[in-house]
A and B are shown apart, each in its own frame.
Chain A
Amino acid sequence: MTIADLLREGPIAVSVGVRDFARDLKDQQVDVVEIDWRPPRPADAEMQRLLEKLL
């Protein structure tokens, strides 16, 4: 998927974060899915750091 492809096809979007941005895209007939994002809890972040160390 080159930048030229993106300009030619237009956006087909994944939205992560502010829900209004996904709604605005949908209102413009852009295909969009949202990732149900939430901040990692401190314990999760610590686990993530440990995993990264191990792998």
Chain B
Amino acid sequence: MSATSYSVRHHTYLDSVFLMRLAKSLETMPGVVDVAALMATPANKQMLRDAGFSGVDVDAAAPDDLVVGVSASTAVQAQEAIAELDHLLSPQAAVETIQRVRTWGEVSTALPRANLAVISVPGEFAAAEIESALDRGMHVFCFSSNVEARDEIRLKGLAHSRGLLLMGPDCGTSIIGGKGIGFSNAVRRGPVGIVGGSGTGIQAVSCLLHAAGSGVSHALGTGSRDASDDVGGVATIDALNALIADAGTRVIVLVSKAPGESTRMRLASLIATSPKPVVTCYLGAAGAGAAATLDDAAAQALARLGGAQATPNGSGPPSAVTHIEGRALGLFAGGSLLLEARGVMEQAGIAPSRFEFVDMGSEELTRGRPHPMIDSRFRADRIAKAGEDASVAAILLDVVLGRGAAGDPAGDLVPAIREATARASGQGRSLLVVVAVCGTEEDPQVRSRQEGKLRDAGVTLVPTNARAAAFVAEALR
């Protein structure tokens, strides 16, 4: 039996990452079972009611009101957690040195040379902010997802007509002049430019280039929908043209989910006339691009530079593959990494019934909760539960490092991995857990430290996502 308590804070808007940290802090308090920290949008209010946090205050709350609900073993513990909110939300708790302004109009005074807007408000509000930025002559990186397709089409047309680049919506990663925006890894500058609608694809390729001693001139994200025929690859084509003209770029990698047919044709004709080599990697479309995997894409780019083949960092793959019965469960934080892994399984001829891959970062699974690259809790629950599923013989995971990602993603997953392994073992089964870490030694999380934690938990480490999938495919044969 548990008790609940909740608090509504009026006019207290906090972003989703801050809310996730708030919830995590409260969850560590004595007796606390569950915490919901959400802005009171209509959808979130329904989630709160479903979770048992209902009341007149919650019903009346507006979208810029914060609602925090706590479920704890006793009423006193729930109230103590709510009381802790005052401390966590106090101005002293945050030390900020970044100048804040209230309106777009004030930006021209505060930072007159601003050339890029980074927009990460909830999707329903993003189009208005994008337009405000474009109206001020700024390029845009829009991380927000759930933006209407018709808004994206209109705004990309507007940006293009003004010579501006609209990266996104749903753009995870860019690196411009060595500066990472959104989710990005610490990679050296170099001669390879990357364009793509695949955030984790860009991250993986940039890390592979870095590991091989090369680097990235610029990486320009375009948003997950850009290469669809509805949008027509507007940002992809503008970005490709920019890199073709860029003196610091010698080879270009284009990494994307499968483009629409007419967009693919347009891209093909641009690439055919490009004076610089362009390596295409279209994930989820076997045979459509020059490279079948991100590993191939990086290797081909390096070959075009006349350098050595890509040699991914980290430990080498295990030499012996043990055959397993049952099926593999892939729980991916990166949607593109899932597509890459699925392609490897299909290429290896593994029957669809032998593997189930879940995109934990999909729009359906991130509604009301942060992305799994930021917050591992939901994925950790799925991992732990998988230990009880007798049909699951292997778990395949990606762990993505870099700026923007969780501070210790491996550490967040290790307890769940240990629990899953113990549960399987309790049923007299062994469970193979295979992980590929995407990141560099220079990333804030430090790749070798993350790999060390996973290795200590009995995980089989494989240097890249494609090779991890190939390893699991081999075990399933």
Give B65's nearest chain A residue, CB to CB: A41
Shortest Cβ gap from B298 to chain A (Å): 21
Interface hits, B106-127 → A, CB 8 Å: 107, 110-111, 113-122, 125
The tally of residues in A whose CB lies under 8 Å from a CB in B reads: 41
Shortest Cβ gap from A38 to chain B (Å): 4
With A and B bound together, what is the CA distance between A22 and B239 in angstroms?
23
Selected contact of A2 from candidates B64, B143, B163, CB within 8 Å: B163
Contact between A24 and B62, CB atoms less than 8 A apart: no
With A and B bound together, what is the CA distance between A3 and B246 in angstroms?
10
With A and B bound together, what is the CA distance between A38 and B11 in angstroms?
9
B-contact 0/1 string along A1-25, CB 8 Å cutoff:
1111111111111111111111111
Contact between A33 and B100, CB atoms less than 8 A apart: yes
Give B218's nearest chain A residue, CB to CB: A7
With A and B bound together, what is the CA distance between A27 and B403 in angstroms?
10
Contact between B107 and A33, CB atoms less than 8 A apart: yes
Give B113's nearest chain A residue, CB to CB: A12
Tell whether A20 pairs with B17 under 8 Å between CB atoms, given A7-B218, A10-B178: yes
A-B interface contact total, Cβ < 8 Å? 161
Contact between A33 and B110, CB atoms less than 8 A apart: yes
CB-CB < 8 A to A3: which residues of B? 139, 163-165, 238-239, 241-242
CB-CB < 8 A to B139: which residues of A? 1, 3, 6
CB-CB < 8 A to A37: which residues of B? 13, 121, 129
Give B40's nearest chain A residue, CB to CB: A39
Contact between A39 and B104, CB atoms less than 8 A apart: no
Tell whether A40 pairs with B246 under 8 Å between CB atoms, given A11-B181, A16-B119, A20-B17: no
* Interface presence of B18 (CB below 8 A): yes
Shortest Cβ gap from B125 to chain A (Å): 6
Tell whether A35 pairs with B101 under 8 Å between CB atoms, given A7-B177, A14-B118: yes
CB-CB < 8 A to B180: which residues of A? 24, 28
CB-CB < 8 A to B178: which residues of A? 10, 28
Give A17's nearest chain B residue, CB to CB: B120
With A and B bound together, what is the CA distance between A39 and B239 in angstroms?
31
CB-CB < 8 A to B101: which residues of A? 33-36
* Interface presence of B99 (CB below 8 A): yes
With A and B bound together, what is the CA distance between A1 and B117 in angstroms?
13
Selected contact of A26 from candidates B98, B107, B133, CB within 8 Å: B98
Give B116's nearest chain A residue, CB to CB: A11
* Interface presence of B201 (CB below 8 A): no
CB-CB < 8 A to B64: which residues of A? 38-41
With A and B bound together, what is the CA distance between A39 and B180 in angstroms?
27
Tell whether A40 pairs with B63 under 8 Å between CB atoms, given A20-B17, A34-B101: yes
* Interface presence of B31 (CB below 8 A): no
Shortest Cβ gap from B61 to chain A (Å): 11
Contact between B246 and A4, CB atoms less than 8 A apart: yes
With A and B bound together, what is the CA distance between A16 and B181 in angstroms?
13
DSSP majority for the A interface? mixed
* Interface presence of A46 (CB below 8 A): no
Give A24's nearest chain B residue, CB to CB: B403
* Interface presence of A30 (CB below 8 A): yes
CB-CB < 8 A to A21: which residues of B? 118, 120, 143, 181-182, 404
* Interface presence of B433 (CB below 8 A): no
Selected contact of A19 from candidates B11, B15, B99, B104, CB within 8 Å: B15
With A and B bound together, what is the CA distance between A3 and B195 in angstroms?
13
With A and B bound together, what is the CA distance between A37 and B139 in angstroms?
19
Contact between A16 and B403, CB atoms less than 8 A apart: no
CB-CB < 8 A to B179: which residues of A? 10-11, 25, 28, 30
Give B186's nearest chain A residue, CB to CB: A28
Contact between A35 and B104, CB atoms less than 8 A apart: yes
Tell whether A25 pairs with B107 under 8 Å between CB atoms, given A1-B137, A10-B177: no
* Interface presence of B293 (CB below 8 A): no
Contact between A18 and B99, CB atoms less than 8 A apart: no
Highest count of chain B CB atoms <10 Å: which of A1, A3, A13: A3
With A and B bound together, what is the CA distance between A11 and B184 in angstroms?
15
Selected contact of B15 from candidates A12, A18, A27, CB within 8 Å: A18
Interface hits, B273-320 → A, CB 8 Å: none
With A and B bound together, what is the CA distance between A2 and B125 in angstroms?
26
* Interface presence of B138 (CB below 8 A): yes
**Could you list some 23 contacts between A and B, CB below 8 A?**
A1-B138, A3-B242, A11-B179, A13-B116, A13-B181, A14-B117, A14-B133, A17-B118, A18-B120, A20-B15, A22-B98, A24-B403, A24-B404, A28-B403, A31-B114, A32-B111, A33-B101, A34-B99, A35-B101, A35-B107, A36-B102, A39-B41, A40-B125
Having A4-B245, A6-B165, A33-B110, one finds 19 other A-B pairs with CB under 8 Å, namely A1-B139, A9-B177, A10-B179, A14-B104, A14-B116, A14-B133, A16-B117, A16-B129, A17-B120, A18-B120, A19-B15, A19-B17, A24-B404, A30-B179, A31-B113, A33-B98, A35-B102, A39-B64, A41-B62
